[in-house]
Structure 1
Amino acid sequence: MNNKRGYTLVELVVIIAILAIIVIMTIPNTGYFKSMMESSELKEFKRDIMFARNKAIVESKIYILKLMNDDNGYIVKSSSKSGFEKIKYFENGIVLNKNNNCDDIHFNSNGTVSNAKTISLHDRKGKEYRLVITPIRGLVDIKESDK
């Protein structure tokens, strides 16, 4: 007498499929992943600014970060080369504010900028961010703006 009871493979696959569907339906509604993408986009922007600063120091050339407010992106390039090091468009909810006080940021061969620069951005929820570049050392800091 074999009275072993258990679940068949088909029953287990059906249960796993139902659970997967339920989990997939709840993930997009949380907004968690969009927030993570926005955060990573801000961090990448900061890294690219630091990249331009460091390339200016290493190569002893002027590097330029050009904001493209109309296209919602930026370009990193050398002043002496034609072409670009990087072109990036914000695609995950971050938007450049149209009233930024600078279009181009020039990093001198020692990594400094001539004047302090502030770049204003906001996310899809309207939270404001300020990306501040200090003039003497060319350091970059991201701060949430107080409204």
Structure 2
Amino acid sequence: MANTSALQEAFHWVRGELTRIHGQSFDKREVRLRTGASHSFNAVAADGSFVATVTNSTGLTSGGKRPVGKIRGAIAELYFLSLVDASARVLIATDPNFFAILQAELAGALVEGVQISHLALPADLVTRVSEVTAAASTEMGR
């Protein structure tokens, strides 16, 4: 089984960047939804004003096809973000290719107030995350 510690490190790095950018701490936590249920998000501001899901998903599959399952996973997270009361609700893609795929796939389809953004990881972390996703892809192909 692939060692996913690099993915957790990427989530931690994004939370650190958001802290630097927005001047308040971010952590992973459950947030109450408008429906009364709750959902866990990767990056929530201390005051709850900014709620984000971070995805380390990559672009096309190893066979060069659209990553349908990853896109559906992102759409599910966008749905949960649409049910949150926060001034900023964002799906953050760390991979530029996956970000571009989501932008093209979801153009004009996002609920008002929910957005998709890209936050580039440092090069060394990109390498480690890529190794994990490649190993996971290989495992899935077995």
What's the TM-score once normalised by structure 2's chain length?
A: 0.26
Tell me which of the two structures has the higher relative contact order, counting C-alpha pairs closer than 8 angstroms and 6 or more residues apart.
2
Q: Who wins on radius of gyration, i.e. which is larger?
A: 1
Q: Relative to total residues, which structure has the larger helix share, 1 or 2? A: 2
What's the TM-score once normalised by structure 1's chain length?
A: 0.25
